[in-house]
Amino acid sequence: MKEYVYAPFADELRRLDATGSLRVLPEGAQEGKWITDSGHRMLNLSSNDYLGLAGDTALRDEFLNQTPPEAMRFSASSSRLLTGNFAEHRRLEQLLASLYGAEAAIVFSSGYHMNAGILPALADRRTLILADKLVHASLIDGLRLSAAKCLRFRHQDYDQLRALMERHHAAFDRTIIVTESVFSMDGDVARLQELVDMKHHFPGTLLYVDEAHAVGVRGRRGLGLAEEQACLDGVDILCGTFGKALASVGAFTVCRRVVRDYLVNRMRPLIFTTALPPVNMAWTRFVVERLTEFADRRERLAALSARLREAFARRGQAMPSESHIVPLVVGESSDAVRTAVRMQRLGFYVLPIRPPTVPEGTSRLRFSLTAALDAADVDRLTANLFTP
């Protein structure tokens, strides 16, 4: 037998378990704002269905009723560069480009594909990438796979970014500044106009913004934080995902046409993967077409989020968040796990976030609110959380 081959994996899992860091795939059936695990019903406070659209069965039925069976193709059966490029892909891209007032848009299989693929395609040895310390793991993988020189600046520390620019910028042909707009773990928001100004100050600089948590949620029309901060024009590579507020799957970038054409030629996670199914593109387009109409949901989510942040702040919690992602930093992994388990028993489905997802010593409960909740839900949550 060759069981010894597996022994290191088992050892490592035991070690993770001992430090409260073992991950398992959670189970649970979802219905509206609820999630049920082994007959125990909990309020879902860990969903990315920010506008409550994925759980909205009336919206789904409306889509199904208006979509003819011939549009219900469940596989693209091929890469977009071969036979997988359907009219539905093009229609969605045209819609996105026109909404954002951009030259072009391009759709990807997921946000992970997008972020792991764009930087390696665009950046060569003569490129400098400056990325916020807290950007998403998919962007980190993109940095690692690229041939560029990569430097990270302290989270939202634009003075340090400027200093790095001054020191290194001139030695490279181009520079790409990479940030999220709403950050996934602290829920704080980037000051995009400052980055746009920085970009203009240093010629040959592109600004790459991942709006995964902001698309659908922020901005008057739900286009994201760049819309809200009135700097859509200043963002060169504006990235969004469909899997969160937009209740679908996949991701998109709005950019210059030349960038789109270049990615079609050079981006491996676009070229070497099967395109998203046409039925899925049709559903995404159905949702995106209604984005403006969901303003009431955006307002509701903003009000609920402010309510929760204020409740935490009143109890002396440092509160970095300015969004619907509201962390409660506990410190040690084991404490985060213990509190999460207690809250789950009480009927609040919240998950602990631990290293390596967040820095050591900042394990937390991460509440991500949705428009399906109401103020009473938030009040019950805080009441239970702070009862010893």
**Residue ranges in contact with ligand PLP by CB under 6 A:** 110-112, 115, 136, 138, 180, 184, 210, 212-213, 241, 243, 251
Which stretches within the chain are classed as H helix? Answer: 7-18, 57-66, 87-100, 111-122, 137-145, 158-168, 192-201, 225-228, 257-266, 268-271, 278-289, 295-314, 333-345, 375-385
Would you call 31 a catalytic residue per the annotation? no
Would you call 210 a catalytic residue per the annotation? yes
Would you call 200 a catalytic residue per the annotation? no
CA separation for the pair 100, 49 (Å, rounded): 22
Pick the catalytic residue from 44, 47, 48, 110: 48
Shortest Cβ contact with ligand PLP: which residue? 111
Nearer to ligand PLP, 323 or 339 (CB): 323
Nearer to ligand PLP, 307 or 364 (CB): 364
Shortest approach of ligand PLP to residue 133 CB, angstroms?
A: 14
Shortest approach of ligand PLP to residue 209 CB, angstroms?
A: 10
Contact in structure between 73 and 86 (CB atoms under 8 Å): yes
CA separation for the pair 325, 323 (Å, rounded): 5
Transcribe 128-174 into DSSP letters: EEEEETT--HHHHHHHHHSSSEEEEEPTT-HHHHHHHHHHHGGGSSE
Residue 145: other Cβ atoms inside 10 A? 16
Pick the catalytic residue from 89, 113, 213, 324: 213
H, E, C per residue of 299-320: HHHHHHHHHHHHHHHHCCCCCC
Pick the catalytic residue from 210, 211, 227, 228: 210
CA separation for the pair 12, 22 (Å, rounded): 10
Nearer to ligand PLP, 186 or 377 (CB): 186
CA separation for the pair 188, 95 (Å, rounded): 29
Nearer to ligand PLP, 187 or 352 (CB): 187
CA separation for the pair 190, 219 (Å, rounded): 14
Shortest approach of ligand PLP to residue 213 CB, angstroms?
A: 6
Structure tokens at 93: 């891209």
Pick the catalytic residue from 44, 46, 184, 333: 184
Transcribe 105-118 into DSSP letters: EEEES-HHHHHHHH
Nearer to ligand PLP, 191 or 338 (CB): 191
Shortest approach of ligand PLP to residue 214 CB, angstroms?
A: 9
Nearer to ligand PLP, 116 or 337 (CB): 116
Shortest approach of ligand PLP to residue 276 CB, angstroms?
A: 11
Shortest approach of ligand PLP to residue 115 CB, angstroms?
A: 5
Would you call 12 a catalytic residue per the annotation? no
Nearer to ligand PLP, 165 or 225 (CB): 225
What's the order of all strands across the beta sheet hosting 34-37?
A: 29-31, 34-37, 40-44, 348-349
3-state secondary structure of 6: coil
Shortest approach of ligand PLP to residue 274 CB, angstroms?
A: 15
Would you call 48 a catalytic residue per the annotation? yes
Pick the catalytic residue from 33, 113, 169, 244: 244
Q: Which of 147, 212, 148, 202 is nearest to 181 (CA)?
A: 212
3-state secondary structure of 175: strand
Residues tagged active-site = 48, 136, 180, 184, 210, 213, 244
